[in-house]
Amino acid sequence: MEAEKQREWGPKAWAHLSSVRNQSPLIQCITNFVSMDLTANTLLSAGASPAMLHSPNETPDFTPQVHALYINVGTLSDNWLPAMKLAAEIASKFKKPWVLDPVATGASGFRLQACLDLISLKPTVIRGNASEIIALANASVGFTKGVDSSHDSTDAVEAAKSLANSSGAVVAVSGAVDFVTDGNRVVGARNGVPMMQKITATGCAVTALIAAFVAIDPLQALEATASALAVFGVAGEIGMEMARGPASLRMHLIDSLHGLDQTTVISRVKITTS
C-alpha cells in the first residue's frame, strides 16, 4: 500500500517539474534582500520566470498578469508591508495562487502581526520551519532563534494542521523531514541533506519553487507543494555528492535542479502519505 503510493509520487513530481519547464510560469517575488539572488536562480534553473517587483506603484498593473505570487517577510520593514498586502489582495482578487514564507515570524510583535495580516489575505500555501509554524499557530510572540528551526518538524504537525484549518492554506513545515498538510491529509517529503541548512536562503528558495509548482497546478496545492519540496531535496542530494562544503553545495544544487531528468526524479523522490 505504502509502496504503491510511493510509486505514484515520482511520476507526479516529474509531471510538475516538466510543466514548469514547459510553461515557464511568471512568478512575482516580494522577498527579502538576502535571498533574492538564490531565489531568482532557483526559479530560472527550474524553468520558471522570476520577476522581483515590489512597488505598490507597479503591483496593480503587474500582479494580474503573473501566474503566482511569492511573499517572504525576511527583511520586513514598514514601507514594504503595504506592498506585500496590496499584492496579496490583488492576487486573491484575480484568483492567482500565492505563497507565504513567514521567516522568523516570532522575532517581533510587528512581524507576527504582519504575518497574521497577510494570512488573512488567504495564501494558497504557507511554508515555514517548525518554530515559525508553531508561532503562527499559537499567534503569540515567541522567540525564534534567527531564521533557523529550533524545534523538530515532527513537533509541528499538530500546529500545522491547526494553522491549515484556520487559514484555509496548505501548510508546509521544513525540517529533518518536511511535512505538508491541508489540515486533513499529511504528506511527508523525505529528500534533502542537512547541509542545505548551512546555506542562507534555501528555505526562501524552495518556497519560491513551491509558488512555481502551484502556479502550474493550482487545484492540487498540496501535491504541488510536496513535489516542489521533494524535487528541491533531490537536487540537494545530487549536489551533495559533488560538494566540499555549503558554498559548493549551493552551486551544485542549482546545477542539479537545472539538469534533473525523468529517471532521476522518479527514482529518487521520496514522498510518503501517512
- The letter for the amino acid at 270 is K
Least Å distance between CB 257 and a second copy? Answer: 8
In degrees, rounded to 5, the angle at the alpha carbon of residue 68 between the alpha carbons of residues 62 and 74 is 90
Least Å distance between CB 129 and a second copy? Answer: 13
Least Å distance between CB 185 and a second copy? Answer: 33
Least Å distance between CB 207 and a second copy? Answer: 16
Of the pair 226, 260, the CB lying nearest a second copy is at 260
The Cβ-side half-sphere exposure at 241, using a 13 Å CA radius, reads 7
Of the pair 11, 60, the CB lying nearest a second copy is at 60
In degrees, rounded to 5, the angle at the alpha carbon of residue 21 between the alpha carbons of residues 65 and 250 is 105
Neighbours of 220 (CB within 10 A): 15
SS3 186: strand
Least Å distance between CB 177 and a second copy? Answer: 21
Least Å distance between CB 11 and a second copy? Answer: 24
> Is residue 129 within 8 Å of residue 118, measured between CB atoms?
no
In degrees, rounded to 5, the angle at the alpha carbon of residue 117 between the alpha carbons of residues 169 and 135 is 70
Q: Specify the residue for cell string 525540517.
A: 175
Of the pair 108, 220, the CB lying nearest a second copy is at 108
Of the pair 37, 117, the CB lying nearest a second copy is at 37
SS3 5: helix
- Interface residue list for a second copy (CB under 8 A): 24, 26, 32-34, 36-38, 40-41, 44-45, 49-55, 57-58, 60-62, 65, 74-79, 104, 107-111, 141, 143, 145-148, 198-201, 243-248, 250-259
Of the pair 50, 183, the CB lying nearest a second copy is at 50
Q: Which residues contact 102 (CB under 8 A, 6 or more apart)?
A: 73, 115, 118, 119, 126, 128, 132, 136
Of the pair 35, 181, the CB lying nearest a second copy is at 35
CA–CA gap between residue 109 and residue 257 (Å, rounded):
37
